[in-house]
Amino acid sequence: MADSKVPPSPQQDRPVYVIGAGPGGLATAAALRARGVRAVVLEKSERVGASWRGHYDRLHLHTTRRLSALPGLAIPRQFGRWVSRDNVIRYLDKYAEHHRLDIVTGVEVTGLERTADGTGWLLRATGGRELTGSAVVIATGYNHTPHVPDWPGLATYTGELLHAADYRNPRPFTGKDVLVVGVGNTGAEIAVDLIEGGAGRVRLAVRTAPHIVRRSTAGWPAQLSGILCRRLPVALVDLLAAPLAKVSVPDLSSKGLPRPDTGLYSRARQGAIPVQDVGLVDAVRKGRVEPVAAVESFEDGKVVLADGSRIGPDTVIAATGYRRALEGLVGDLGILDARGNPTAHGPRPPKRAPGLYFTGFTNPISGMLRELAKDAQKIAKAIAP
């Protein structure tokens, strides 16, 4: 790994700059290197895989080891079928070393613009650096900046509130009454982690009931179903998924977690990936995790729920998602949609920004790492046919 001193890039040998040393950035740099293209990865933190290093201790991939590897290096078999957070980090470290990637740490790119001659990109970075690249790949990640809704009364709330990004393990919450807000995969898993780790009471605030699927059924991983779904019409998948859900997942309506009234794949296409069950179904069924109505506001030290009830948990953990936070980097280029996502993705650069590529800004039902690996190969081919 290179140090944080960026070597000059002569005009006649402009590298491709890859912004972000997470799985997507590393995979794209490796794919470019395999095609003989010099790629320099710029990472604002001091190590690769920074976001993975910040995830909670319990985390394992919900995708299989074989279908999560990046181009050119398999994930070691001893890591098991469902790879732990720590082993993902070990794999990313090994991946960078194995491919001898040119990674510059401690450098944050703060602005992008086309070069004066229109043939490349000028990157402005910390320390007053100005770097010129033939192309740029932005791989700063889907889960970039923690988002907490602007709930009424939040500014004056005096209770303990943290985002899921700051949650590591249940030890600080032993014996406490905890409200987890959000029933995506992160919220569901943190709720289970808390109750299994000794929290006194765990409630889970649900605005929209999620689709819940088994991570694996009779050895068949949900990820494989997700891959097959992408080749089928949305309406057909919705139709087939409903009876399968009734067979595989018990009805939890009486416990406050009803079945969704919209199709599984329709919701997935809108970005709402099904929750993979790693203990939530059993915890809700036994009353150990209590689903409650969505959070509406904070008032007089209490949390006000959508059904009008008020509760006073010791701690609120907001598993309320992330923002891509691309506005500061490319917001003036006119290539972001209303939600702040790039209007083009993978091997197709935005029409207004030729030579600028994005990877890792979707949440695919077939598995993020699998799609990052595929994107890397496609982007490298687009840059160096």
Contact present, 129 and 9 (Cβ < 8 Å): no
Look up residue 375 and give its two tokens.
Answer: 């994107």
Rounded to whole angstroms, the Cα distance separating 76 from 368 reads: 19
For residue 290, which of 251, 257, 248, 317 has the smallest C-alpha distance?
A: 257
- DSSP-derived 3-state class of residue 63: coil
Which 8-state DSSP code applies to residue 75? P
Look up residue 5 and give its two tokens.
Answer: 């001193």
Contact present, 178 and 196 (Cβ < 8 Å): no
Rounded to whole angstroms, the Cα distance separating 187 from 189 reads: 6
pTM: 0.91
Tens digits of pLDDT across the chain (385 residues): 544 444 443 344 799 999 999 999 999 999 999 999 999 999 999 999 999 999 999 999 999 999 999 999 999 999 999 999 999 999 999 999 999 999 999 999 999 999 998 899 999 999 899 999 999 999 998 888 999 999 999 999 999 999 999 999 999 999 999 999 999 999 999 999 999 999 999 999 999 999 999 998 888 898 999 998 888 899 999 888 888 888 889 999 999 999 998 999 898 888 788 999 999 999 999 999 999 999 999 999 999 999 999 999 999 999 999 998 999 999 999 999 998 999 999 999 999 999 999 999 988 889 999 999 999 999 999 999 8
Amino acid 20: pLDDT: 97
Amino acid 10: pLDDT: 37
Look up residue 316 and give its two tokens.
Answer: 């609120």
Residue 175, classified by CB atoms within 10 Å of its CB into exposed (0-12), middle (13-18) or buried (19+), is exposed
H or E stretch covering 130 = strand 129-133
Alpha-helical segments (H) within the chain:
23-34, 50-53, 85-98, 185-196, 222-229, 234-248, 264-269, 280-285, 327-330, 368-383
293 forms beta bridges with 206
What residues have CB less than 8 Å from 141, skipping those under 6 apart?
A: 20, 22, 24, 51, 324, 360
Amino acid 178: pLDDT: 98
Burial 346-359 (b: 16+ CB within 10 A, else e): bbebbeebebbbbb
Amino acid 261: pLDDT: 87
Q: What is the four-CA torsion angle of 280, 282, 288, 292, rounded to 10 degrees?
A: 50
Rounded to whole angstroms, the Cα distance separating 105 from 24 reads: 16
β-bridge pairing 302-305 and 295-299: antiparallel
- Give 3-state DSSP helix, strand, coil % of the chain, rounded to 5: 30, 25, 45
Q: Would the CA dihedral through 164, 167, 169, 172 be positive or negative?
A: negative
Contact present, 121 and 115 (Cβ < 8 Å): yes
Length of the chain (residues):
385
Q: Would the CA dihedral through 301, 305, 310, 316 be positive or negative?
A: negative
Domains of the chain by start residue, with CATH:
11-144+324-383 (3.50.50.60), 147-321 (3.50.50.60)
